[in-house]
Structure formats: C-alpha cells, structure tokens
Amino acid sequence: MSQPGSLDLSKLLPLAQAGCDTIWDQLVEQYRAYLLLIARLQVGRRLQGKADASELVQETFLQAYQHLRHFQGRTESELVAWLREIIASRLAKLVRRYYGTQSRNIRLECDLVSELEQSSHAVDKCLAASQSSPSQQAERREQAVLIANGLAQLPTHYREVLVLRHLEGLSFPEVAQRMGRTLKSVERVWPRALRGVREVLRGNPCVLRLCRTCQMARGREGAWVCPRWQTWLGAP
C-alpha cells in the first residue's frame, strides 16, 4: 500500500481507464480497507452477518472495473462516492435476496447510499480526537480512507476494539463480550490501539512493520514485542 498523500488520481485514473490492470490493482488496494470497513458495518446492520463483507467488496470492484471507462470523475471524493453507490446496489440485491423481495426498490438503494455515506462520515470522525492536528497528507486525501487504511495496519485485536467501540458504538463491557476478552483487557488495549493508529496517520507505518516482524519471529500473532517500540505502544 502506498503512503498516504502519494495517490495522484488525475494521472492514475486515465491509465486505469485505458486498460492498465497494474494501475487498477493499485487503486483496488488503496480502497479495499475502506470499502471492507463500511461494508462490514452495513452487513451487520442490514443482514445480521448473513453475508460476507469481503465477497461484497470483491463484487463491487469487479463491477467498478467493468464500468470504469464510463466514470467521469477525477477526484478521490468522486471515486469514493461512486464506489459507495456500487456497493449500495450490491447490498440492496443481497437484502432483497435474504428478505424475499425480488422487485427492485429504488428507495432501498437510496437509503443504503445514504447509510454508507453516514458510515463513511463515522469513520472520518471516530478517531479525529486521536489526532492533535491533521497532516497535510490527510488534507489532500479522503480522511475516512486514510483512517481505514491505518486501521488495516494494526494487529487484529487493536483494530477490532476501535471498530466495535467507535464505529459500532458498543460499551466497553459489550466490546469485551464480543471479543471474548475481559473488561480490564479491553480497557487496557483501547488507548494503545488509539496511539497505534495515530502514528500510522502521522506517516509512521514502518513502526508497525518493525513490530510485526518481531511478533512473527516470536510466533505470537498480534503481540507487540519489539523492544524498540514496546514502551511506546505498550504490550497487549
């Protein structure tokens, strides 16, 4: 995944639309985490987990690729809004399938577009307090996309506690129950997860890669054991 702020859609989109699959793959990786996050929220609300968010996102990218030449936008905001419309359409089909209504409901699709946009805004705002000041990189990019990419770089339990607490709005006891952890453990992990994603948003993803290297060497998935950064992020 490229660094925040390094995406120049005005150059990349025309190349992707001209048939450059390598560029399209780069765009997919830039927005996969964002779409997965908002899809997860909607699948949980609308379908109670009956559908797979990953499959929904994959279908969204496939449909976007098939219609990419017709996309007229040139900014990230326009591209993100277009992808949300596609995922809303795919989600509406799933809702109709699981609830037994075959006819297309335009109101449902409009509602889903609105809900997905609200989910995007929720991602945008959920960690705003963890940033002392927005970076110039974040100002140039969609903040919700950057935050989703930052969350994707965290260990699973760090990411999960932030999503459940800030995006699904669960209380700490509810988060602990969903994660199968003690309340004390969740309350200890939460501020460390905030510090971790803050550093990613400040442009320090190398910190997380160093710790991941250490944890793999120790064979402890999700454990922050890098001696250099342990006191900085804290061990889980």
Spell out the residues 6+ positions from residue 214 whose beta carbon is closer than 8 angstroms to its own: 225, 226, 227
User: Are 119 and 224 members of one domain?
Assistant: no
User: Are 125 and 158 members of one domain?
Assistant: no
Whichever domain contains 216, its CATH number is 1.10.10.10
User: Are 207 and 119 members of one domain?
Assistant: no
138 falls within a domain: no
User: Are 160 and 115 members of one domain?
Assistant: no
pLDDT for 101: 63
User: Are 207 and 122 members of one domain?
Assistant: no
Question: Mean pLDDT over residues 13-38, rounded?
Answer: 93
**Any long-range contacts for 198-203 (C-beta under 8 Å, 24+ apart)?**
198/127, 198/130, 198/131, 200/149, 200/150, 200/153, 200/154, 201/4, 201/127, 201/130, 201/131, 201/135, 201/138, 201/146, 201/147, 201/150, 202/131, 202/135, 203/3, 203/4, 203/135, 203/137
* 131 has pLDDT over 70: no
pLDDT for 171: 94
135 falls within a domain: no
User: Are 168 and 76 members of one domain?
Assistant: no
pLDDT for 144: 83
User: Are 82 and 178 members of one domain?
Assistant: no
pLDDT for 126: 60
Domain boundary among 96, 129, 162: 129
* 51 has pLDDT over 50: yes
Across all residues in the chain, what is the average pLDDT? 76
pTM: 0.74
134 falls within a domain: no
Q: What is the pLDDT of residues 157-170, one digit of tens each?
A: 999 999 999 888 89
Q: How many domains does the chain have?
A: 2
Residue range(s) defining the domain that contains residue 224:
153-233
Domain boundary among 129, 162, 196: 129
Question: Mean pLDDT over residues 134-143, rounded?
Answer: 55
User: Are 114 and 163 members of one domain?
Assistant: no
User: Are 106 and 171 members of one domain?
Assistant: no
160 falls within a domain: yes
User: Are 125 and 176 members of one domain?
Assistant: no
User: Are 14 and 71 members of one domain?
Assistant: yes
The angle formed by the CA atoms of residues 228, 230 and 231, to the nearest 5 degrees, is 100
